[in-house]
Amino acid sequence: MAQPSSKKLVLAFVLLVLLTSWSYEAFIIFGGGVARFGLAGLVILMWIPGLLSILLRLALGLGFGDVRFIVGRPRYYGYALLLPLALALITGLLCVILDIRQFALIESHDSRLHGGARTLRSANPRSQPDGGSNIAVRARWPTAAPLLGSPTLT
């Protein structure tokens, strides 16, 4: 039996990865979101391409002879580890400075419901239902809401 061409193998791999990843993402979204699945759900999502590569190599009998790990220059390993970390820290600090979101790992759904909401008071008396008293409003800020000025009421 003749092996498929490299282009066909790459196309099959890319399509299978997209189909599997998007299906899993839809499962996460419709199953309660990242708050329910947490960091473990995202780790599984990130492992999909590698696992599918191994499964396809085993299923098609391609073996692992052409896959090898070559130790390169240490500075490139430093770049590969430190640059993403630096970018993540800069992004996180910028978000904290702009009060876009908390600088923390993914919160569980319960902690967000009970501790993450802010209490706001409207400064405009005409917007008050009783004509002027300060009514506390529980609000949760989505990612860009502080910049846009529109909280999501809970």
State phi, psi for 139 to the nearest 5 degrees.
Answer: -135, 150
Tokens read off for 91: 């992004």
The answer to whether the beta carbons of residues 140 and 101 sit under 8 Å apart is no
Q: For position 101, what pLDDT does the model report?
A: 66
Q: Give the tens place of pLDDT for each residue, 58-83.
A: 998 888 888 877 888 889 989 989 99
Angle in degrees, CA 38, 143, 39, rounded to 5: 10
Q: For position 46, what pLDDT does the model report?
A: 92
What is the domain partition of the chain in residue ranges? Answer: 1-68, 71-104, 110-153
Q: Give the tens place of pLDDT for each residue, 3-54.
A: 778 899 999 999 999 999 999 999 998 998 888 888 888 889 999 999 999 9
Residue type, 110: D
Sign of the torsion formed by the C-alpha atoms of 122, 123, 128 and 130: positive
Q: For position 64, what pLDDT does the model report?
A: 84
Distance, CA of 102 to CA of 88 (rounded, Å): 13
Q: For the residues 85-90, what does the mean pLDDT come to?
A: 91
Q: For position 48, what pLDDT does the model report?
A: 95
Q: Three-state DSSP class for 45?
A: helix
The answer to whether residue 91 scores a pLDDT higher than 60 is yes
Q: For position 92, what pLDDT does the model report?
A: 82
pTM attached to this predicted model: 0.49
Q: Give the tens place of pLDDT for each residue, 101-147.
A: 655 555 555 555 555 444 434 344 444 455 444 444 344 444 444 44
Distance, CA of 79 to CA of 128 (rounded, Å): 55
Integer CA distances (angstroms), 9 to 3, 12, 13, 55, 93, in order: 9, 5, 6, 13, 42
Distance, CA of 6 to CA of 13 (rounded, Å): 10
Place of tokens 């409207």: 122
Residue type, 32: G
What is the band of 2 on the pLDDT scale with cuts at 50, 70, 90? Answer: low
